[in-house]
Amino acid sequence: MIHVLAIITTKPGQREAVLDAYRANLPAVLAEEGCIEYGAAVDAEGAGPLQAPLGPDSFVVVEKWASLDALRAHAAAPHMAAYAAKTKDLIAGRVIHVLLPA
């Protein structure tokens, strides 16, 4: 299994617009072969010193894929190209961590 943490930082005030596009794309991603989990998450309110906050313009997509091949197919999927085109002017940056279980 492959774990992915995708940290997305939007341009100021654009997080909800990008999350709307993410939600619209979600059914297509969940239908992909090898997709085990694909969920967006934002800072928990009131966590205090337990967390290093992402901030109001960032979110994380927590992903699990059956294999690297499934992840590669996801990255090349037409619906992901459409999502990227729709959100490219709203995103300031992203960091993708591809991980193996320890």
Note the pLDDT of residue 70: 98
Residues 44-102 pLDDT 10s: 988 988 999 999 999 999 999 999 999 999 999 999 999 999 999 999 999 999 999 99
Note the pLDDT of residue 1: 97
Note the pLDDT of residue 2: 98
Element holding 97 (H helix, E strand): strand 91-99
Report how far apart, in Å, the C-alpha atoms of 71 and of each of 36, 50, 74 are.
Answer: 11, 31, 5
pLDDT band at 36 (very low <50, low <70, confident <90, very high): very high
Residue 76, SS3? helix
What is the pTM (predicted TM-score) of this model? Answer: 0.93
